[in-house]
Amino acid sequence: MESLTFRHTTTKPLPGTKPQAITGVVASGNLEILLERVLPPDAVEVAIETPIAGYGPVWEAVVADFVARAQPGGVRISINDGGARPDTVSLRLLQGARLMEA
Amino acid sequence: MAGPSAGPDRDRLSWYEASARQRLDALLDPGSFTEALGPEERRMSPHLPLFDLPRAFDDGIVVGTGTLDGRPVYVAAQEGRFMGGAFGEVHGGKLVGLLRAAVEGRPAAVLLLLDTGGVRLQEANAGETAIAEAMRAITEVRAAGVPVVGLIGGRAGCFGGGGLIAGTCSRLAVSEGGRISVSGPEVIETNKGAEEFDSKDRALVWRTMGGKHRRLIGGADAFCDDTIASFRAAALSLIADAPAFDLDTLMAEQARLRERIERFGECRDGTEIWARLGVNDPDAVPSLDTRAFDETVARIGEAAHDAR
């Protein structure tokens, strides 16, 4: 297993008040994403556990793109990966952010 | 948490396609579910990292309490897509804990949304122990007067120890997509050869383990459309007519299971059993829609029995 953690600062907190959300399933080509509103409003942390080693730069790019688009300030994001493709990861991250905004 | 909001879409959601969380969210009264040991507590498998396998925050099972049509229920839902819904140490411990809590809490029912291939091979000893403990706990819940209703219509079906747990429930509802057995198709083929059971023959699998077959021989007590609404209606009606858990019930079940072996033991296919049951056109059964199938069931005395 490879563990990756990325930290970013955002210009604003993620809208909404929902304290946590989970989306996706740990299955082949899929992943689960747990979001918790536990950080300072301008901070975001994404921690990934993946069985597919060696894709750190791809994860870094997908996470940076998500943070730029969603500005998910205040949220700690934990990922259990089942070998998802970057587009699936991106989709799930945006789904998770949307659930927190509800 | 994740899942559709209230409304018709919620009712029409496919049970087979939905995740464990979506099923619970749509099955129970809106907003009534309270999860125990939720994903934020990160009670994950201590064994899977040894095999370099990914873990799930809830170890593949969601447990908690809620209401169904206003009445309190305890619920457990397996996620069939995570490791085939298989029982590991934490997964099994959560189910057993819920059942033991139900003996104290005395809800109107316990609902088990089973979706499992059986025991997780990477933690098989703990999984086998969990199956045994869950079966014992179910009997204690039933002895306390609380019905335990199994709902089966998921991707993984209900196999291995999950099949044993299903056999311990008060009542079972199953859909076309659901399958119930102990040894699964691939296991039988591996041990006995493709001449005995060809696991690639999906029609054979459904004729011998599928929801319609289980319903016709009384192995399940309700046949559902693949919708949340259909499973909810079945759960409510099965809770209402759950059998007493007493010596008379068990003796009747034992007698019927003995008789079933005598009547059907030599049959080579589901269609032969259905013919002996008195189904007019056994070959047509797999293509019957739910209403036509229910009419067929109503003409067969066997399906009304309690035994599995």
pLDDT per position as a tens digit, A4-54: 999 999 999 999 999 999 999 999 999 999 999 999 999 999 999 999 999
- The helix (run of H) or strand (run of E) holding residue A6 is strand A2-9
Among residues B113, B116, B168, the alpha carbon closest in space to that of B142 is found at: B168
So what's the pLDDT on residue B8?
A: 61
The verdict on a CB contact (< 8 Å) between A1 and B49 is: yes
Q: Is residue B146 part of a domain?
A: yes
* pLDDT(A101) > 80: yes
Size of interface A-B (CB pairs under 8 A): 50
**String of DSSP letters for A17-61:** ---EEEE--SSTT-EEEEEEE-S-TTEEEEEEEESSTT-HHHHHH
The verdict on a CB contact (< 8 Å) between B55 and A80 is: yes
Q: Is residue B21 part of a domain?
A: yes
d(CA B217, CA B307): 9
Domain extent, residue B25, equals: 8-304
Task: Give the mean pLDDT of B89-96.
Answer: 98
Q: Is residue B230 part of a domain?
A: yes
The verdict on a CB contact (< 8 Å) between A26 and B2 is: no
Burial of B31 (0-12, 13-18, 19+ CB in 10 A): exposed
pLDDT per position as a tens digit, B187-213: 999 999 999 999 999 999 999 999 999
CB burial of B242-260 (b: ≥16 within 10 Å; e: otherwise) equals beebeeeeeeebeeeeeeb
So what's the pLDDT on residue B281?
A: 94
Q: Is B54 on the interface with A (CB under 8 A)?
A: yes
So what's the pLDDT on residue B306?
A: 66
So what's the pLDDT on residue B3?
A: 46
Among residues B235, B226, B252, B267, the alpha carbon closest in space to that of B304 is found at: B252
What distance in Å separates residue B79's CA from the closest CA in chain A?
A: 8
Residue B307: pLDDT band with limits 50, 70, 90: low
A16: left (phi over 0), alpha (psi -120 to 50) or beta: left
Q: How far is CA B120 from CA B1, B8, B18, B223, in A?
A: 26, 36, 22, 28
The verdict on a CB contact (< 8 Å) between B56 and A22 is: no
Residue A102: pLDDT band with limits 50, 70, 90: confident
- Sign of the CA dihedral with B46 first, then B75, B228, and B153 last: positive
pTM of the model: 0.95
Among residues B273, B293, B284, the alpha carbon closest in space to that of B224 is found at: B293
Count the domains in chain A. 1
So what's the pLDDT on residue B102?
A: 98
* pLDDT(B178) > 90: yes
> Which residues in chain B have Cβ-Cβ distances shorter than 8 Å to A1?
49, 52, 54
* pLDDT(B165) > 50: yes
Count the domains in chain B. 1
Q: Is residue B2 part of a domain?
A: no
Identify whether the C-beta of residue B168 lies closer than 8 Å to the C-beta of residue B135.
Answer: yes
What distance in Å separates residue A79's CA from the closest CA in chain B?
A: 9
So what's the pLDDT on residue B131?
A: 97
- The first and second tokens of residue A44, run together, are 């975001």
So what's the pLDDT on residue B1?
A: 43
Task: Give the mean pLDDT of B140-162.
Answer: 97
What distance in Å separates residue A2's CA from the closest CA in chain B?
A: 9
So what's the pLDDT on residue B247?
A: 92
The residue type at B178: G
Task: Give the mean pLDDT of B53-76.
Answer: 98
Q: Is residue B3 part of a domain?
A: no
* pLDDT(B220) > 60: yes
Domain with B136 in it: what CATH number? 3.90.226.10
- Sign of the CA dihedral with B64 first, then B231, B180, and A22 last: negative
Q: Is residue B1 part of a domain?
A: no
Task: Give the mean pLDDT of B300-307.
Answer: 72
Kindly provide the ipTM of the predicted complex, given to two decimals: 0.95
* pLDDT(B70) > 50: yes
- The helix (run of H) or strand (run of E) holding residue B222 is strand B222-224
d(CA B185, CA B193): 11
pLDDT per position as a tens digit, B71-81: 999 999 999 99
Domain extent, residue A59, equals: 2-101
So what's the pLDDT on residue B4?
A: 46
d(CA B148, CA B138): 7
Could you give the 3-state DSSP secondary structure of residue B17?
coil
pLDDT per position as a tens digit, B262-298: 999 999 999 999 999 999 999 999 999 999 999 999 9
* pLDDT(B217) > 50: yes
Q: How far apart are the first and last CA of chain B?
A: 35
Q: Is B81 on the interface with A (CB under 8 A)?
A: yes
Domain with A34 in it: what CATH number? 3.30.230
The verdict on a CB contact (< 8 Å) between A34 and B1 is: no
> Which residues in chain B have Cβ-Cβ distances shorter than 8 Å to A38?
none
- HSE on the CB side for B196, CA within 13 Å? 10
pLDDT per position as a tens digit, B1-43: 444 455 568 888 999 999 999 999 999 999 999 999 999 999 9
Q: Is B49 on the interface with A (CB under 8 A)?
A: yes
The residue type at B73: V
Residue B308: pLDDT band with limits 50, 70, 90: low
What distance in Å separates residue B300's CA from the closest CA in chain A?
A: 41
Residue B300: pLDDT band with limits 50, 70, 90: confident
Provide the percentage of residues in chain B whose pLDDT is more than 70: 96
